[in-house]
A and B are shown apart, each in its own frame.
Chain A
């Protein structure tokens, strides 16, 4: 530890002003502050500060994603690690390039985007498509708008949306059948070339043909689908960590799930053919993953409490309608992006109401 610190300090002069590697200062700073907490102290009131910083904030999201990651590795094998590596490598490089050109610091938000993105993809997607997706997601979804904190859309979903439209065959054609048994596919590496023999339909596409996966399979995640979305229990465990730690807003999650469940309950009575039973529909597809991990991104969701409820309701309702009434088998991605579009408007309305109340305050 001491040696690492000393080594970092030895290289520091090269990155300072006048050094040979001055332009790579953001990279040096990010590396140093990753390993060693900064020395910065308060200079004005309040002299005390909360221990939470953005690194910890994002680290909590990563911890919340770990159960999903473990489930995904179990059901779909080691190839997921390769996808995560590509995602971090390509996305991280782009992040660094933008930081160097802008002479800004590298933000921690990418720790989450880089992990969440592969978890939303089919587990057998060719790695080059993963690279294209994350590149588009980071550039179009985040950096063009000014980087972390200023992006209107969830970068991982922008990347996924691009792939869904640009490479429909790769994205929706073959879904890897989950491994069974104690080890599952933990010791296997299944890539796009060998998938044809072991593909299967996702629960939602099978349901369109009238075949419903069993509820325990959906609950544990023993079904085909995007890498991180299949296991309801893993998502719930991770999601509850996020809500309890206050990193994700419970209002958004509750808005999504309640609106989806209520609307589904009503419409299932009206038209049981098009609308699946509530509990089954809640556990199938990417709804839970989207509700806990994607919709709750604080930057792209509304900041007002009222806005969060409305945003959640929009996402839940639109997901159900796309899923059940359109040609698409899944609608979470479009619903959240639609929610992202609506977020500023919802906030505007909530702020107006709030300011009208505040106007007459003394």
Chain B
């Protein structure tokens, strides 16, 4: 497959390269749920004093990934529903990794690679990994087929991939070395046999970098010159070419539950380095604060549990806003009850709520409208592009304009699948490869008829696996 489609939405409110270190908080609100994790097994008691880096809870369904205390303080379990609250939080010397720590749900294994993997899991670095095909947390002790490391982050208003790597190139390359050291093939033949079969000792690491000429790119390539095990993959700087499912398909890595493809971004590689070089817990993350509702979009150094009110206080423009936990195209609204950043938060996006009814809006020149088509004057002279939560039109029947097909990075035909699903043709939708949809949201974004194409396709994927495939299994 070649990389096709994709579209960079013109935005104002993209985070700048500036990184602000947030002031130390007094109280931390650690959510017990995040997109992938549910930390249901508590390891602390109410009122207990914990050290920085101590395990507060674990997720038994996800290989026991721990929720670590980012700061020293006193635990309050009932102070806020769905959160563990750390009161009187203060920075203190972080607890170094103790290899003899007992981790629930994880078998002990004497191998060198397994020892490192245990360390990654215990120090919170494993949470940065995902399965490229399913997006779930991969088994830390499984054998991956390959690793995709992406330096890109292309969703509008999200963290820029180059912010972290710019200052910490040495740590990044050392992190890559650490990842490589995890990957010894257990079944690899030895000696002459290996040479004869051409099997390599390690699974490949694909490092995805933007196809641009910049000093940073040149420096990175220079540093990695001697790393024969890193396969540098250059992709155009266009959304959503940072999507791991798409990249796996591009690299011809077929989905295989036995041998998953690990995926990790820059932040994850740096976390691996911190965990395996300095043996310290990974509790501080770089989160973006972007969107047109923010006065000064930038990056923030914050820890999970950091009070969201304190982050947003004094940084928002006037008017009602919608805060998203992530980027503007794929991520959901921040749940109203969530008080602190969760462990997977990559950024907050703030969109002004749409409240204004424009007079004869469709007849205006549109210097401020963002559009894939060139039907507004903004294509010639973009002045103060506006984004809000407006649907910007009414639901209408599909007119087969074909925009969704043009932007679709998966190479499928969203409008055709929509028509199949409209007449309940689930099998036809399956034949049209609705399963290849990566959920990037571009089809719904560009649709002039305002049809929720992306949602319909993701729902169809679920229905297909539930109804059609369950039926097949029953029959067999």
Q: Mark A326-359, 1 if CB is under 8 A from B, else 0.
A: 0000000000000000000000000100110011
A47–B351 touching, CB < 8 Å:
yes
Q: Mark A245-280, 1 if CB is under 8 A from B, else 0.
A: 111010000000000000000000000000000000
Best-buried of B249, B374, B446 by chain A (most CB within 10 Å): B374
Question: Within A46-62, which residues are at the interface with B (CB < 8 Å)?
Answer: 46-57, 59-60
Question: What is the distance, in angstroms, from B464's C-beta to the closest C-beta of chain A?
Answer: 15
The answer for the CA separation of A34 and B448 in the assembled complex, in Å, is: 16
A49–B415 touching, CB < 8 Å:
no
The answer for the CA separation of A47 and B369 in the assembled complex, in Å, is: 16
Cβ-based interface call for A181 (8 A):
no
Cβ-based interface call for A105 (8 A):
yes
A303–B374 touching, CB < 8 Å:
no
A42–B375 touching, CB < 8 Å:
no
A41–B353 touching, CB < 8 Å:
yes
Question: What is the distance, in angstroms, from A297's C-beta to the closest C-beta of chain B?
Answer: 9
Our pick among B332, B371, B398, B412 for the contact of A45 (Cβ within 8 Å) is: B332
Cβ-based interface call for A298 (8 A):
yes
B389–A53 touching, CB < 8 Å:
no
Interface size class of A (residues with CB under 8 A): 35 or more
B447–A303 touching, CB < 8 Å:
no
Cβ-based interface call for A37 (8 A):
yes
Cβ-based interface call for B433 (8 A):
yes
Cβ-based interface call for A169 (8 A):
no
Our pick among A35, A41, A46, A149 for the contact of B360 (Cβ within 8 Å) is: A35
Give chain B residues whose Cβ lies under 8 Å from the Cβ of A46: 328-330, 441-442, 444-445, 454
B329–A1 touching, CB < 8 Å:
no
Question: What is the distance, in angstroms, from A242's C-beta to the closest C-beta of chain B?
Answer: 10
The answer for the CA separation of A37 and B393 in the assembled complex, in Å, is: 7
Cβ-based interface call for B372 (8 A):
yes
The answer for the CA separation of A5 and B360 in the assembled complex, in Å, is: 12
Cβ-based interface call for A150 (8 A):
yes
Determine chain A's interface SS by DSSP, over half rule: loop
Cβ-based interface call for A6 (8 A):
no
Give chain B residues whose Cβ lies under 8 Å from the Cβ of A362: 249, 252-255
The answer for the CA separation of A338 and B392 in the assembled complex, in Å, is: 36
- Which of B136-144, B191-199, B222-230, B399-407 faces chain A? B399-407
Q: A1-B359, A41-B389, A53-B450 are in contact. Are A298 and B351 (CB under 8 A)?
A: no
Q: A50-B447, A56-B362, A362-B249 are in contact. Are A246 and B391 (CB under 8 A)?
A: no
Cβ-based interface call for B279 (8 A):
no
The answer for the CA separation of A38 and B356 in the assembled complex, in Å, is: 9
Taking CB as reference atom, which chain B residue is nearest A302?
Answer: B400
Cβ-based interface call for A148 (8 A):
yes
Question: What is the distance, in angstroms, from B16's C-beta to the closest C-beta of chain A?
Answer: 20
Our pick among B394, B432, B450, B454 for the contact of A105 (Cβ within 8 Å) is: B394
Taking CB as reference atom, which chain A residue is nearest B389?
Answer: A41
Cβ-based interface call for B354 (8 A):
yes
Q: A59-B362, A303-B416, A361-B433 are in contact. Are A47 and B355 (CB under 8 A)?
A: no
The answer for the CA separation of A148 and B397 in the assembled complex, in Å, is: 7
Q: A57-B448, A361-B411 are in contact. Are A148 and B399 (CB under 8 A)?
A: yes
Question: What is the distance, in angstroms, from A189's C-beta to the closest C-beta of chain B?
Answer: 29
Taking CB as reference atom, which chain A residue is nearest B376?
Answer: A51
Q: A48-B328, A49-B444, A49-B450 are in contact. Are A355 and B375 (CB under 8 A)?
A: no
Cβ-based interface call for B213 (8 A):
no
Listed from nearest, the 9 A-B pairs whose CB atoms lie closest are A53-B393, A149-B397, A37-B361, A46-B441, A51-B369, A55-B362, A46-B329, A40-B391, A36-B357
**Besides A147-B397, A149-B398, 9 other A-B contacts (C-beta < 8 A):** A40-B390, A40-B391, A47-B351, A48-B351, A49-B393, A52-B392, A150-B397, A245-B375, A361-B249
